[in-house]
Amino acid sequence: MAKTPRFLTLHFLLLVSVVILQLSALTSAFGINYGTLGNLPPPTQVVDFIKKNTIFDSVKIFDANPHILRALAGTGINVTIMVPNGNIPAIVNVENARQWVAANFLPFHQQTKIKYVCVGNEILAGKDENLISNLVPAMQSLNEALKTSGLKDMKVTTPHAFTIIDYNQNAPSHSIFNNDHKDFFTKILEFHRQAMSPFMINAYTYFMVDPNNVNYAMFGPSNGIQDTNTQHTYNNMFDAVMDATYSAMNALGYGDVDIVVGETGWPSACDAAWCTPQNAANYNLNIIKRENVIGTPLMPNRHIDIHIFALFNEDGKPGLTSERNWGLFKPDFSPVYDVGVLKGEYRGGDGGNPPSNGGKWCVAKQEATTTQLQANIDWVCSQGIDCKSISPGGICFDNNNIKTRSSFVMNAYYQSKGYTNTACDFRGSGMVTTRNPSTSTCVVPNVVGSENGGGKWCVAKEEATTTQLQANIDWVCSHGIDCKPISPGGICFDNNEMWTRSTYVMNAYYQSKGKSDNACDFHGSGIVITTNPSTRTCNVPDGRGGRSSNNMESSSGDHAHSR
């Protein structure tokens, strides 16, 4: 038999890799965990609410509830279902697995988009050796049963508590799986690779919080950490947890396996001072931003499916106060706090622009050489463009990613020239895109119109007093608006210019409320203008398109939930 030439094989593999990456980016999901332990509305009402009133395109449930699956039929919502822990030993037998599929999949799969099937939930955390020893065989049998039934697109996985990882907080890249389960994770990751299914992690920074790292854990203002191994800077614990998970997988040789976040969130009430509606809103608002942000420092080009915990406060859950207060909504569908998930609301904070707002960016072409990228940086920075953000210590500085740095300043120049195509040529190394090139640590501003093309800003009046300005700052920052850019170290912090700081947050609130005039009143101290109030170091977002944003800053125990 003739052999395929080696260079053709390599070329084919490269093409396949590109296609897989593109498909991954296109199918990235943003979901919500739908628990049912409480006096909650019926599934038909809940699903109708999710479909019509929220931005969620995925729902994760904790069983295979036929009433919920039937309600989800025809909605187009991706669904994650779960095999209860107690069923794991039985479905090791392939025939039993086929019967489970026949009972829980076949009646629904033609109309309900079941994407992931979880075999159990946080099995290692329960320390039941019978369940642990049977977990991988059960996943293999269920996967075989799905294939036999022709359901090849449904991916088998299992959620893990983050406690499975020996987390190195000073060097996330040195994190590894707990030594006593190293062989177990080699087997489970090999299953994922063969089945082309994702590794699922429940990534709660809340369970690692202490009085010294509260802000870091919940996306608040903090000094962050610099990985002593990679020199990457982490401004929030969530990204560090993601990279620690990747590093543990990569240490076993499985860095290519996709990662899905099965659960993450922050309770609005608990027995500690850091559980407040405001803190929960801040955490989840920043998680929501990742819907339109690509990657982490160690995974710069990956989209990660994320499922927030949870849809409702569940008053039927036992345990600590926090267990009953993870929800974004109360059982009557009223928000526990405003986090922008309702349709028509601001969706992604400073950098998360919905695709419908006409955003445009100038970025470096994929094939641009390092020499071209550095030349672009040098030239733009000599043309009066502020390059502080890509300098050492800046939010977009990354020694290992010159393309991100170059794209940031190329885009800044493109904006300054009224977003004309010629301003993005850069001798053939630049291109205009409508796909957000931001990363989790560097949000690249978008453009939806020129400075003279109808932009609107809410600013503080010149005659506003210092007391009024400070009151505006305090009030806005208590209503779910990200105030990190005006905090010490932020790009809009200036001890000598309170007017700029107040204007920045007043305008952010004004945008979040659909730029209505009432949202810029601030007891008579605010005014809507059409002249850009940005300074050289503080870019104040405009209001074009309703919710566009040009901000350069990224805001960036009882763990086993009872079911």
List the helix and strand counts (H, then E) for the chain.
14, 17
Note if 122 is an active site residue: yes
Token pair for residue 458? Answer: 């809410």
Note if 263 is an active site residue: yes
End-to-end CA distance of the chain: 57
Cα separations in angstroms, 353 against 45, 345, 360, 429: 29, 11, 11, 25
> Phi-psi category of 393—alpha, beta or left, where left has phi over 0 and alpha has psi -120 to 50?
left
Helix, strand, or coil (residue 391): coil
Residue-wise over 318-331: b if at least 16 C-beta within 10 A, else e? eeeebbbbbbbbee
Cα separations in angstroms, 127 against 119, 124, 133, 163, 164: 16, 5, 10, 12, 11
Token pair for residue 486? Answer: 């005006």
d(CA 213, CA 4): 55
Contact, 365 vs 454, CB < 8 A? no
Contact, 391 vs 397, CB < 8 A? yes
The length of the chain is: 563
Strands (E), 444-525: 457-460
Contact, 285 vs 482, CB < 8 A? yes
Contact, 59 vs 77, CB < 8 A? yes
Which residue in 15, 58, 32, 17 sits closest to 302, CA to CA?
17
d(CA 526, CA 78): 43
Strands (E), 164-297: 165-166, 176-177, 199-202, 225-226, 233-234, 259-264
**Residue from 95, 122, 144, 462 carrying the catalytic annotation:** 122
**Residue from 95, 129, 190, 263 carrying the catalytic annotation:** 263
d(CA 48, CA 222): 40
Q: What are phi and psi of 295, to 5 degrees?
A: 75, -175
d(CA 423, CA 445): 16
Q: Which of the 8 DSSP states describes residue 426?
A: G
Reduce the secondary structure of 20-63 to three states and give it as a string.
Answer: HHHHHHHCCCEEEECCCCCCCCCHHHHHHHHHHHECCCEEECCC
Cα separations in angstroms, 324 against 201, 261, 341, 347: 21, 21, 20, 26
Query: Catalytic residues, which ones?
Result: 122, 263
